[in-house]
Amino acid sequence: MNDTPLLSQLAVLLIVTLAFTSETALGFGSTIIAVALGSFFLPLDVLLAGFVPVNVLLSVVLVARTHAHAELRLLGLKILPWVLLGLPLGIYAGSHVREAILKSIFGVFVLTLAALELRRSQPAAAASAATPTAFLDRALLTVAGVVHGAFATGGPMVVFVLGRTLGQDKARFRATLSVLWLVLNSILLVSFLLKGRLTQSSGLTSALFGVSMLAGFAAGEVAFRRVSAVRFRLGVFAMLGLAGALMLMTNLGKLRG
């Protein structure tokens, strides 16, 4: 990140602050925001190597503060096993597939999930939606593991499944997701270490992101108490939809070139 222009560095720090604000307020959203927006300014591997260690630290803080609300039985029996099933494939893809291809796939992923989330927020759509089957839930969670292994952000699909189970209980929702991210990102952190992706340079990037984490945590705690989770979530997904579309168009151009 030291070789990145100053304005780009400031943009990344603002994006990462927003990412950690979302994670603290909602229990999810940090990495998808960081990757979808931050990868316009930094290579994906550089961004993730600096971001994931700090995200683990944030998860530790949130778990320490909210663990009493976490649904550990639900997480251990119905969520985590299926996510872990897909995680190794995603880790492999993240290391062996061309970045422009990964970003194009991620752009489609973000754009699709943003559209689904925004549609699902409409009362008429929510009322008419069919009840997903257990098979579909497991398939979504397995795909979430693949996406998390590649991009450290399988959250939206987990949120889709978990949201129906926990409903509007913000405290249980955030606490349960925080435990999940702590487990998954700790595994990613070990894989980064084994592959030599954690370097002195990534450590300096993480140190800068740590400042953003402190600011995002403070802002997220205020948002958690005062801002409607529904409105905040809608704003996040509307922004991500735009980012996904831009990412897709930019990287398809690179692939054609």
Residue 73 has a pLDDT of 93
Q: Decide if 1 is inside a domain.
A: no
Q: Judge whether 102 and 39 are in contact, CB under 8 Å.
A: no
How far is residue 19's CA from residue 216's CA, in Å, rounded to a whole number?
A: 7
Give the confidence band of 168 by pLDDT, cuts at 50, 70, 90. Answer: low
Residue 210 scores a pLDDT above 80: yes
pLDDT in tens, 129-147: 445 578 888 998 998 899 8
Mean pLDDT of the chain: 85
Residue 95 has a pLDDT of 81
The whole-model pTM stands at 0.82
Q: Decide if 144 is inside a domain.
A: yes
Residue 93 has a pLDDT of 85
Residue 184 has a pLDDT of 92
Taking alpha carbons only, the member of 104, 93, 113 closest to residue 157 is 113
Q: Decide if 159 is inside a domain.
A: yes
Residue 21 scores a pLDDT above 60: yes
Q: Decide if 162 is inside a domain.
A: yes
**Total domain count, the chain:** 1
Residue 228 has a pLDDT of 77
What is the arithmetic mean of pLDDT over 83-99? 88
How far is residue 228's CA from residue 235's CA, in Å, rounded to a whole number?
A: 11
Taking alpha carbons only, the member of 100, 83, 110 closest to residue 185 is 83
Q: Decide if 18 is inside a domain.
A: yes
Pairs from 66-70 (Cβ < 8 Å, separation ≥ 24): 66/171, 66/174, 66/175, 66/178, 67/175, 67/179, 68/175, 69/171, 69/172, 69/174, 69/175, 69/176, 70/172, 70/175, 70/176, 70/178, 70/179
Residue 83 scores a pLDDT above 90: yes
Q: Decide if 225 is inside a domain.
A: yes
Residue 25's domain spans which residues? 6-256
How far is residue 192's CA from residue 210's CA, in Å, rounded to a whole number?
A: 18
What is the arithmetic mean of pLDDT over 68-96? 91
Q: Decide if 184 is inside a domain.
A: yes
Residue 126 scores a pLDDT above 60: no
